[in-house]
């Protein structure tokens, strides 16, 4: 049967299926269409070390008994051209005899960066670049951030009442938002490479910070900002399924050894002021393959990240309830003297999740890289 869905749209849908599995690799989909307009094969990138989208599509074509000679490959990111844990996808497409490749975007990875498209053209394959570019970049904004800026895309999540209260004066916060909102928040956890929190949250709540409300084959690691290494060795985050990183400015060898004995990785990252150097921490997380950093912390760490200009977007859930004064807010920004001192944001997406409201708000101009 002739393919009726626009091939690049179909490829983007396939790429979305890699949302929870491909990190630190990008989320990529590939569709092969024969010269007669029929679907030949399709696939998306698997877990790190597994086959990429193009190879999956070629395997699918083989399983279907379809000939790829003269086909057009629609792929949501430039086929890779280097040997990593897998071979170059551009070579696989050349060997398969495809006649044309339609790619959404050039890969920002310096190891590729146009070389895949160049190798395809050198082999006599027609190359078109551009369709689906906006959607593909949005799906891979963390990967682009890591490759272009050398730091993850930082997404700060908070849940509050309509008047911005995240917890009562006595610390009670479970649950301000609905079960639907909590499940949605876990889906955002699942797509992240690392979940960041502060030691205050660890001491007060002893959270697990893993993904439980949605199905995922991969658990993100947890990172803790802990200047004095106050994290208890038996804290739940220390034994997080994806691993635990503790960033500190402490030189207390005994505390460090106790945490590392329980499986945590302690990383000295001191700022001259005595606290953890948060900007350096982001750069370190990037070297460890973090594309998207999901922040679930208290108002102190949230405030520090915002004041230092390190947050890219806010993921905010608002419950239809008023909790009044005396509670805690999303972030401690300190007293502002003028309205212009507050961070400026653009509303990227507004959706209703169950009875609650979800707002994705981006720091103005932050995605322009």
Alpha helices in 22-114 (DSSP H): 53-64, 89-95
CA separation for the pair 232, 241 (Å, rounded): 17
**Sequence-ordered strand ranges (E) for 131-264:** 153-161, 194-198, 221-225, 244-248
Alpha helices in 100-206 (DSSP H): 115-122, 133-139, 141-149, 179-191, 199-205
204 is catalytic: no
Closest C-alpha among 157, 156, 153, 149 to residue 141? 153
Distance of CA 38 to the CA centre of its chain: 34
Chain position carrying tokens 């002021």: 273
CA separation for the pair 120, 54 (Å, rounded): 13
* 144 and 113 Cβ atoms separated by less than 8 Å: no
Closest C-alpha among 263, 215, 216 to residue 237? 263
Closest C-alpha among 332, 322, 339, 315 to residue 159? 315
> Max CA-CA distance within the chain?
69
- What does the CA dihedral 137, 142, 148, 149 come to, rounded to 10 degrees? 140
Phi, psi of 197 (to 5 degrees): -145, 175
Q: Is 201 helix (H, G, I), strand (E, B) or coil?
A: helix
* 286 and 151 Cβ atoms separated by less than 8 Å: yes
* 69 and 33 Cβ atoms separated by less than 8 Å: no
CA separation for the pair 349, 359 (Å, rounded): 6
CA separation for the pair 290, 23 (Å, rounded): 8
Q: Which residues participate in catalysis according to the annotation?
A: 54
């Amino acid at each position: 049967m002739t393919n009726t869905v626009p091939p690049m749209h179909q490829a983007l849908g396939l790429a979305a299926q890699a949302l929870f599995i491909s990190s630190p690799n990008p989320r990529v989909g590939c569709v092969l269409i024969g010269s007669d307009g029929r679907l030949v094969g399709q696939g998306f990138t698997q877990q790190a070390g597994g086959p990429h989208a193009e190879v999956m599509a070629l395997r699918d074509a083989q399983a279907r008994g379809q000939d790829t000679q003269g086909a057009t490959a629609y792929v949501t990111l430039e086929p890779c051209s280097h040997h990593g844990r897998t071979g170059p996808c551009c070579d696989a497409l050349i060997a398969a005899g495809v006649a044309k490749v339609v790619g959404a975007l050039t890969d920002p990875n310096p190891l590729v960066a146009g070389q895949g498209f160049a190798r395809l053209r050198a082999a006599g394959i027609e190359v078109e670049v551009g369709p689906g570019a906006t959607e593909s970049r949005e799906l891979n904004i963390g990967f682009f951030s890591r490759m272009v800026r050398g730091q993850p895309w930082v997404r700060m999540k908070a849940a509050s009442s309509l008047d911005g209260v995240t917890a009562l004066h006595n610390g009670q916060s479970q649950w301000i938002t609905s079960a639907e909102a909590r499940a949605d928040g876990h889906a955002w956890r699942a797509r992240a490479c690392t979940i960041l929190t502060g030691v205050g949250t660890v001491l007060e709540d002893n959270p697990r910070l893993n993904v439980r409300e949605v199905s995922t084959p991969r658990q993100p690691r947890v990172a803790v900002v802990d200047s004095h290494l106050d994290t208890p060795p038996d804290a739940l985050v220390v034994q997080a399924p994806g691993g635990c990183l503790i960033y500190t400015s402490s030189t207390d060898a005994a505390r460090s050894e106790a945490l590392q004995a329980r499986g945590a990785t302690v990383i000295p990252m001191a700022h001259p002021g005595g606290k953890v150097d948060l900007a350096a921490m982001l750069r370190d997380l990037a070297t460890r393959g973090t594309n998207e950093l999901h922040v679930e912390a208290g108002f102190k760490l949230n405030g520090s990240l915002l004041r230092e200009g390190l947050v890219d977007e806010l993921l905010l859930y608002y419950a239809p309830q008023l909790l009044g004064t005396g509670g805690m807010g999303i972030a401690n920004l300190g007293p502002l003297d003028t309205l212009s001192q507050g961070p400026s944001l653009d509303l990227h997406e507004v959706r209703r999740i169950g009875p609650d409201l979800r707002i994705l708000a981006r720091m103005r101009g932050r995605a322009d890289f």
